[in-house]
Amino acid sequence: MTNPPIPQFPIQAPQHFQPRTSGLAIASLVCSLTGVSLLAVIFGHIALGKIRQSNGAVEGRGLALAGTIVGYVGFALSIAMFIAFFIIPLVLVGGAVAAGGAVVTGAVTEMVQNVDQTNEELQSINDALTEYSERAGHFPSEDQGIKALVTEPTTAPLPKNWKASFSTLPLDAWGHEFVYRLPEDPNPEDPLNRPRPEVISMGADGVIGNYDDQSTEELLP
C-alpha cells in the first residue's frame, strides 16, 4: 500500500523593499528643462545629498545628476548670452560684471555647502536621539525637544539614565533652531513599537513647510 502524496503548499515570493524616487531630483530635471537653471542646480545638489545618505531608500540619482548638469550648462549659457548681447555697453563696467558673476557663483556654492552641513547635523541629531532612547527608555517629548540632548529634562517623561550628547544646542547652517516632532502613532519598524521622532530644518528662509526644508525622514530608509 502506497502512502498518499504529501500536500504541497504555495510558497510566497519574498517581498522586496521598493525605494521611492526623489521628488527634488524630478524637480531639478524639470527646472533644468524649463530654463530655471539656478533652481535646477540647487534642487539637484539637495537631492544628491539626500539620495547618498538614504542607504537605498531614495532613488533618482540619474535624474538629479541630469538636472544638475543641465542646470549648470543652462546657467553658463545664460551668462554667456548676457555677456555677448551686452558686452559693448558693459566694457566700461567689466569689473562690475565679473564681481556680479562671482557673487552669483558664490551664492550657489554657499547654498550647496549649507545644505550638506545641515544634512550632517540632522544625521548627528538622529544618532544622538537613538542613543538617548536607549539610555532613557524613550524619546524626548515634543515639549522637551532636542534640548533634552543638551540639558537633562526636569519634567516628565524623565530619563532613566541621561548623558549630554551636545555641549550646545545644534543649529542648522543658517543659524535656525531645528524643529522636533514626535508623532503619536507608533513606528512598526521599531522593536519596541515606539513612534519615530522627526527633526526638521526650516532652510534658508526660516519658514517651515517650504521647498527648502530638510528632515531626518528624508535621510532614513
CATH of the domain at 138: 3.30.700.10
Share of the chain above pLDDT 70, in %: 83
Write out pLDDT tens, residues 93-134: 555 555 566 666 788 888 889 999 999 999 999 999 999 999
- Whether 13 is covered by a domain: the verdict is no
Looking at the structure, do residues 66 and 124 belong to the same domain, yes or no? no
Contacts from 205-211 at CB under 8 Å and sequence distance 24+?
A: 206/174, 206/176, 208/179, 211/27
Rounded to 5°, angle at Cα 44 from 21 and 38: 140
Total domains present in the chain: 2
- Whether 7 is covered by a domain: the verdict is no
| Strand positions, DSSP E, the chain | 20-21, 58-59, 179-181, 198-201, 214-215
Write out pLDDT tens, residues 43-95: 877 877 778 777 777 777 778 777 788 878 887 887 777 777 776 666 665 55
Enter the pTM of the model: 0.55
The Cα 146–Cα 23 span in angstroms is 28
| Residues 90 and 148: beta-carbon distance below 8 Å | no
| Strand positions, DSSP E, 69-174 | none
Looking at the structure, do residues 120 and 217 belong to the same domain, yes or no? yes
- Residue 64: domain span: 18-100
pLDDT of residue 6: 56
